Amino acid sequence: MSEHRVITISRGYGSGGKTMGKMLAEELGWSYYDRELLRLASDESGISEELFAKADEKSKRTLLMRVARDALDGQVIPPDRDDFISNENLFRYQAKIIRRLAAEENCVIIGRCANYILKDEPHVLKVYVHAPEKVCIRTVMNMYSLTQDEATRRIHDIDRRRAEYTRYFTGRDWRLADDYDLCIDSSRMDWQKCIRIVRAYLESM
């Protein structure tokens, strides 16, 4: 088993998964990666970070399983190919960075299908954070000064895009409990209790 440990956090929008991830990383003294992965993938590939951002958590409407498997398992495409900046190749570079980070250091990784990319690694704790929609709506309203309708639309839009992204590149339903070691309803307890549960699970691995 690798001496490095990794926590991946997938989350429903408004559930506070990102907040929990940051707090976990700080308490554990680990590195924290969210949008930083886009910069690292850009540095690795030489492709503009803006292109990674545009492709981030978006997918084509046609969900082709063969393409999804190729994107996850295939090698990165060299710069002289016409499809060098395709969404599939951008995903491959992100997957390459995620695997490298998991091999090199203790870290918390937010989203980007990291739970699936690292699914066969025994040193990875895969967490899914969720909360009832009414709680997520209230959180998003308070965070961004939105009306209830605006917050609801934002949640539905972002969660839909996350679902499509995950389905396209992994063929999986992002909310499927089978793909996680631990699922937490963040509305049931405060952040410190959530973090204690994650740390207790981590120590038992």
- The CATH homologous superfamily of the domain defined by 6-204: P-loop containing nucleotide triphosphate hydrolases (3.40.50.300)
Q: 137-176 pLDDT, tens per residue?
A: 999 999 999 999 999 999 999 999 889 888 888 888 999 9
Dihedral, 6, 48, 166, 127 alpha carbons, nearest 10: 20
Q: Which amino acid is at 194?
A: C
Q: 46-66 pLDDT, tens per residue?
A: 554 455 455 554 544 443 334
| pLDDT for the residue numbered 35 | 75
E strand or H helix that includes residue 185: strand 182-185
Backbone angles phi, psi at 78, to 5 degrees: -70, 160
Q: 1-23 pLDDT, tens per residue?
A: 347 899 999 999 999 999 999 99
**Whole-angstrom Cα distance, residue 90 to residue 84?**
8
Q: Which amino acid is at 67?
A: V
> What is the rounded average pLDDT of the residues 30-56?
63
113-116's contacts with Cβ under 8 Å and 24+ in sequence apart are: 113/165, 113/166, 113/169, 113/170, 114/6, 114/8, 115/8, 115/10, 115/179, 115/180, 116/72, 116/166, 116/170, 116/172, 116/179
Q: Bin 51: left if φ > 0, else alpha if -120 < ψ < 50, else beta.
A: alpha
Instruction: Give 109's strand partners.
Output: 8, 33
Full strand arrangement of the beta sheet holding 182-185: 31-33, 107-110, 6-11, 124-130, 182-185
For the cut 90, the answer to whether the pLDDT of residue 124 exceeds it is yes
Q: 64-122 pLDDT, tens per residue?
A: 334 444 445 545 433 333 343 456 767 777 888 899 889 999 999 999 899 999 999 99
Average of per-residue pLDDT values in the chain: 81
The answer to whether the CB of 176 falls within 8 A of the CB of 99 is no
